[in-house]
A and B are shown apart, each in its own frame.
Chain A
Amino acid sequence: MSHPFHVVVCASVVPDPLQTLEPITGPTGPALKNELMLPAILDPWAAHALYEGANLVKKVPGSKLWLVSMAPKAKLQQVMMTVAQKVPLQLVAIDGPSGGFVDAHQTAAALAKAINGIADLDKSRLLLFGGWESASRSAGVTLQLVGEQLGIVDQFQGVDAITPNDDGSFEVLERVEGARHQVSLCAGPPAVLGWATGNLGEPRNDPQVGMQNMRTIMPSLQKAVATPVTSDGLQYSNVATPKQQRETQIIKDKPTDEIAREIVQWIKGE
C-alpha cells in the first residue's frame, strides 16, 4: 500500500466514570467539585479512536500518529503515564480546561491551531480521529468544528470501522438509527472520523512502548502552551444532578413461579 496516512487523534481527559460527580459554581462558571483531584482517564470514545488509529498506522507503512490533547497540564501528565504504554504516539499537549461546561467552539479553535502547528504533518494525508462524543460535554461537535477549521469536507461520525484500499480510498462504517451501519466509500484523505467503539480491545500495557513515548511526551508537556478559555456569551442558569433516588421494593423468598407471573403481568400492563 503506497498511500500512507497522517493520523491525528484528538482526545480529551475526563473523570473516571466510576467517580461521583457533583456540580459547583466556580469563578468562571459551573465546574465539578474537587475537579482537579478526581482520578482521570483518556476519554473512552477517543481512546477507541487512538487504538484504531494506531492499528491503521501499523497496517499502512509510512503512516504516522499524533495525539493532540487539551487538558490541565498536571491532569494530562497523570493520564499519559497510562496512555503512553498502550500505543506508539507523538503527543501534542495543550494546557487548558477540559471540563464538560467549557465551550466547544473555543476548544476546537485551540485544537485546530495546535494541529496547524505540527511541523511534519502533511494535511493532504490527514485523517483527523477522535471520539464522536466525549464523556464530559457529550455534544459531538468539537471534532466537526476542528475539521471545518482545517477545511475538511469529508466527515464521518459514529464510526465503527475503516478499511483502507490499495488506491488510497477507504470504506467507513458509521452508526445510524435502528442499529444499522451506513457504508461509505471516501476517495481518500483528508477526512474526519469521529469514532464510536470500533472493534479493537484496549491494548495491553507495554512498558517498552511507554519508555519510547516518554521521550517525546515529557518535552511536549513541558512545552504545552497555556490556553485560557472564556465563556464567550455562553451562560448557565442552572446546573444540577438530578434527584432520582427511588424507593426500591426488595422482594425476597418469593417462589419463582410467582415472580415470573408478576413480571409477565407487569410487562403486559395487566
Chain B
Amino acid sequence: MDAILFLAHTEADGTLAKPALEALGAAVDLKQSLGAALIVGLYGAQAQPAANSLANCGADKFLAIQGEAFAPARYASDAAACEALARASAPTIIIAAGTSRNARVMAGVAHRLGGVVDTHITSIAAASGALQATRWFYRQRIEGTLTRTARPWALLLDPGNQPAWTGEPGSVTPEIIAVPSPESLSRTTVKGFVTPPADQQTIRPDADLLFVAGAGWTKKQKDGQPHVAEAETIIVDFLKNSKASLGSSKSLVDLSGENQAALRFLTHLNQVGQTGASPRHPKGLATCCHGEEPHTVGWRFIGERRAINLDAGCGWARGKADVLYVADAFEVMTKVNALLSQK
C-alpha cells in the first residue's frame, strides 16, 4: 500500500499558508484514489497550531519537528527536517506545496532518500491506480504528463492549481521527531528580508488584474520625442487606482538595467515571459508589447486578456488576446485613470 507524506513548513505564527492547504487537498484526494495511508509532517518554529487546524483532514498520523532552529528558511536545517520526517514515515509519495522554501530543499531531500523529485506540478491523478503528474516544459510552452517507477517520489505542487483543503479544526498531538543539530546546519544565518517600500510594491500576486507594460512606453511618440516621465506617472497612477500587479516585457526591464531612459520602478522581478514569471491572474491588460513566443509564456495563466497597441497586426496580441484595442496607450490609460479616480 502506498503511504503519502504531506510535508509542510509552518508560518511564523505556526499556521499553514494557502499553498500548503492546496497541496493537502491534493494529498487527501490522492489518498482516496489510491487507498493509501496519509501522514502529515510539519516543521517550523512551532507546529501545534497547524496540526490542530488539520485535525480532521483524515490523516492516519501526525509528525512534527519544531524549534527555533527550524524557524528560518535555510537549506541545511530544512533539508534535515524534511529528511527526518520522511525517514520516520517511510513514504512512497511525498506531496508538498511549491513554495520557495520547499523548492529550495526538496530535490536534495529526495536524493538523500534515494528517491526522485518533480516540481511545478499542476495536477496529479491516479485514475487507473497509477500516479500521474502533469507539468510544463520549456517554460510553459509544452505540457506533459509523466509517471515514475522510482520511490519515494516527491512532488511539489505549484500554488493556485487546486482548491485549498478546508475542514473543522480540532486537537491532535503530533509525534515529535528529534533532529540532531550539528554546527553544519547553522553555517548560514538568515538575517531578514528586503521588501520594496509600500508605494513601490508593484508585484501583487493576489491582484485580479495583471498590467503588462511593454517597451513601447519608452519609445518616441507622435511628437517625435519619448515621454518616459509621463509614462511613469500614468502607470503608477493606474496601479494605485486599480490595485493591479505590474508585469513587464524583458526588453523594457533590460533598458532599466542598461541605464537607458526607462521606467525607474521596474526590476527583473517584474519581468514576465521566457526568463521571467508566468503569474496567475483572472485578467490581464497588456500595453505597448511586441514579440511573440516569449510573451505567450508569460501570458499562459491569465484568464481574460485585453491589449492596447497601435499596431493592428501585432502578432503578439492577435490570437493571444481576447480584445485588441488599436489605440494610443498614453491617451487611453490617462482616461482610464481619470475614470478610476472618479469612482
Contact = CB atoms under 8 A, between A and B. Distances in A.
B111 A145 contact: yes
A136 B112 CA distance: 25
Contact of A259 (B99, B317, B332): B332
B318 interface: yes
A249 interface: yes
Contact of A264 (B118, B189, B322, B336): B336
Contacts of A264: 336, 339-340, 343
Interface in A239-254: 239-242, 244-254
A233 B148 contact: yes
Nearest to A176: B100
Contacts of A147: 108
Contacts of B149: 233, 235
Contact of A17 (B144, B274, B319, B323): B274
Interface in A215-264: 232-242, 244-254, 256-257, 259-261, 263-264
Interface residues of A, number: 88
B274 A145 contact: no
Contacts of A145: 107-108, 111
Contact of B142 (A45, A140, A171, A241): A241
Interface residues of B, number: 97
A174 B100 contact: yes
Interface in B142-186: 142-150, 184-185
A156 interface: yes
A160 B332 CA distance: 35
Nearest to B202: A179
Interface string B308-343: 100010000111111111111001110110111001
A175 interface: yes
Interface string B184-215: 11011111111110000111010011000000
12 contacts: A18-B294, A153-B185, A156-B75, A176-B100, A182-B190, A236-B144, A237-B146, A239-B137, A239-B145, A246-B319, A248-B319, A264-B340
Given A160-B268, A237-B132, A251 B326 contact: yes
Contact of B150 (A14, A185, A186, A233): A233
9 interchain residue pairs of minimum CB distance = A260-B335, A141-B107, A233-B149, A179-B203, A144-B107, A197-B268, A155-B75, A17-B274, A239-B144
Contact of A248 (B112, B137, B268, B321): B321
Contacts of B82: none
A183 interface: yes
Contacts of B318: 248, 250
B40 interface: no
Contacts of A138: 120, 136-140
B116 interface: yes
Given A147-B108, A260-B332, A17 B294 contact: yes
Contacts of B53: none
B145 to A, nearest CB: 4
B76 interface: yes
B141 interface: yes
Given A199-B257, A259-B332, A263-B332, A157 B191 contact: no
A154 B203 contact: no
Interface stretch (A1-9, A19-27, A75-83, A118-126): A19-27
A267 interface: yes
Interface in A11-60: 14-15, 17-21, 23, 30, 44-45
Given A182-B73, A184-B188, 20 more contacts: A17-B294, A30-B144, A135-B274, A140-B120, A144-B105, A153-B75, A154-B75, A174-B104, A176-B100, A177-B205, A181-B194, A183-B194, A233-B116, A233-B148, A237-B146, A240-B142, A242-B143, A244-B300, A256-B335, A261-B339
B75 to A, nearest CB: 4
Contacts of B233: none
Given A20-B293, A256-B332, A177 B100 contact: yes
B61 interface: no
A82 B243 CA distance: 43
B319 A139 contact: no
A259 B327 contact: yes
Contact of B148 (A17, A235, A247, A248): A235
B268 A196 contact: yes
Given A158-B100, A185-B188, A232-B150, A260 B193 contact: no
A32 B193 CA distance: 41
Interface string B297-315: 0001000111010001000
B298 to A, nearest CB: 11
A87 interface: no
A21 B144 CA distance: 14
Interface string B227-252: 00000000000000010000000000
A117 B112 CA distance: 22
A197 B271 contact: yes
Interface string A147-168: 1110001111110100000000
B326 A21 contact: no
Contacts of A105: 111, 116
A186 B324 contact: no
A234 B146 contact: yes
B12 interface: no
A173 interface: yes
A254 B208 CA distance: 26
A171 B318 CA distance: 45
A201 B254 contact: yes
